[in-house]
Structure 1
């Protein structure tokens, strides 16, 4: 049985250290706490969709080291199809994070993720052909994303591209082929080179990409919600107000949840509302993947957090 949602992207081991202060160059200091967690934007999005019950597969490169073995095992335990997950020659991708109070410094080491090249995707055309939705991010090479978009177009499979981290050297020709393009306002500004200070400016920038061919612009606005813009439609889907504890991984949770609901029901507006709920729940919990609830938890937490009514647009 083929995966319905196919995520092509990164996996990273998050290596987080709480610190009292950063060491000076050449200095060694003690730190009070360290923890390791599964992350990476592609893996986060796949994990969120799998938690909700979708048949999810990944095309990704894990490392040839112990961390790569650990991540592959995590995929399998999470119910994620690993036909497209292979070991690279390099060590697994890692993201050492140094946390000082409410500030953090992060170093991203691509590792085996850099070996997910365009030619790798040719081995998995059958997975792409049978998917109902391809999900992409920008923690792998842009050329690999372009290859994925071209193959998806060949087989008439819709693509959702979440352009994070932001990159202002993107080929608009390929972006225009995406069914869903889901930046936040900052990423939208990077791509379009247009101001995004006000809602009207964000709408204007989004319409620039719609005019180029993108069918659905989904611009996330944090606590303000999400703007859904098409050639004939502009709609604000308001966010749910919650007491935020940790927003790490919330954007990936949104993408994964939207993918699940859209493949399940085909209703974009309803899927956006449900994805808003899912993302809002995750910010009330700590961590990225560790904050992602399964469907039974979603039902329980919706009631607990008062999310069973539709919020009113405030913009």
Structure 2
């Protein structure tokens, strides 16, 4: 299996640790799928020319992810500020609005499209801002998309017709609301839909059957990246074996293990706090 992540990347600045960790949904999926055994993993996105961007590049190289078509711009890399809440859960408290990614659009030429088509699956997200390209990309490759908690009808109608996999974050939704959302996305064209809900586990809709997956207990020190590890393992195992129950169980195990270390996939780097003074 060959997978490519396209779009968002950031460094997550952990205030309590004074460290940055590479992250971002599209980047995380590329790295984690590589960790979970895909033959090739690649990443296309826009990075800056600062220390954060250099750290992302070094981390991707260390994980064996192909970044031959990455874009580099002059300016700050995307950065999010992470804090601990009263339940020791990681929360986002600020960002620099994507850094250079907020200013520069990913444009795909014919060489890009041909390169992307050499993969079996691409993953992207609402944070990647390539919705207008999904129609063109879907003619070249199967697409996986992370909606996070966004699920208004107009947005679903724009995105869902082009997807093979759609993932939502729905900790605030009850079972009935999740099932209604999944059926709505399916009727718009998305083939496989999942809703991850933190400690409430996950619900998936595959071939009109609803699957429930509970969480696996873990010694939690950092919840950041758990959802991305769940998605990554599900994509890898389901694509290879087409067994929903096994894929969901392995995904829950992977998410639990991810919670037992810092960052989405590690690589903490010390950073002076005043470098984040402009984040809002």
TM-score, length of structure 1 as denominator length:
0.74
TM-superposed CA distance for 1:48, in Å, is 1.0
Q: Aligned with 2:204: secondary structure? A: strand
2:60 to 75, 84, 91: 75
Q: Which residue of 1 aligns with 2:235?
A: 259
Q: Aligned with 1:213: secondary structure? A: coil
Contact 2:143–2:163 (8 Å) recurs in 1: yes
Moved over 6 A (4+): none
Q: For the residues of structure 2 that align with 1:197 and 1:167, how far apart are their CA atoms?
A: 11
Distance verdict in 2 for CA 1:36–1:5, change over 3 Å:
same
Which structure has the greater CA radius of gyration?
Answer: 1
Gapped regions of structure 2 (runs ≥ 5): 268-280
Matched, 1:34 2:18: yes
1:138-287 pair list within 5 angstroms: 138-141=126-129, 144-147=130-133, 149-155=134-140, 157-164=141-148, 166=150, 168=152, 170-185=155-170, 197-287=173-263
Q: For the residues of structure 1 that align with 2:251 and 2:104, how far apart are their CA atoms?
A: 28
Residues 127-174 of structure 1 show CA distances to partners (whole Å, capped at 9, x for unaligned) of 221211111112222xx1331x2233212x221111126374625142
Q: Aligned with 2:131: secondary structure? A: helix
Count of paired positions: 262
Contact 1:207–1:230 (8 Å) recurs in 2: no
Q: Which of the pair has the greater relative contact order for Cα pairs under 8 Å at 6+ separation?
A: 2
CA RMSD in angstroms comes to 2.5
Contact 2:80–2:92 (8 Å) recurs in 1: no
Q: Which residue of 2 aligns with 1:305?
A: none
Residues 25-82 of structure 1 show CA distances to partners (whole Å, capped at 9, x for unaligned) of xxxxxxxx51222122222221111112221101111112232222212211110011
Matched, 1:58 2:43: yes
Q: For the residues of structure 2 that align with 1:268 and 1:145, how far apart are their CA atoms?
A: 27
Deviates more, 1:257-266 or 1:79-88: 257-266
Q: Aligned with 1:92: secondary structure? A: coil
1:79-94 pair list within 5 angstroms: 79-94=64-79
Gapped regions of structure 1 (runs ≥ 5): 19-32, 187-195, 292-315
TM-superposed CA distance for 1:226, in Å, is 1.8
Distance verdict in 2 for CA 1:267–1:121, change over 3 Å:
farther
TM-superposed CA distance for 1:118, in Å, is 4.5
TM-score, length of structure 2 as denominator length:
0.83
Distance verdict in 2 for CA 1:67–1:244, change over 3 Å:
closer
Whose strand proportion is higher, 1 or 2? 2
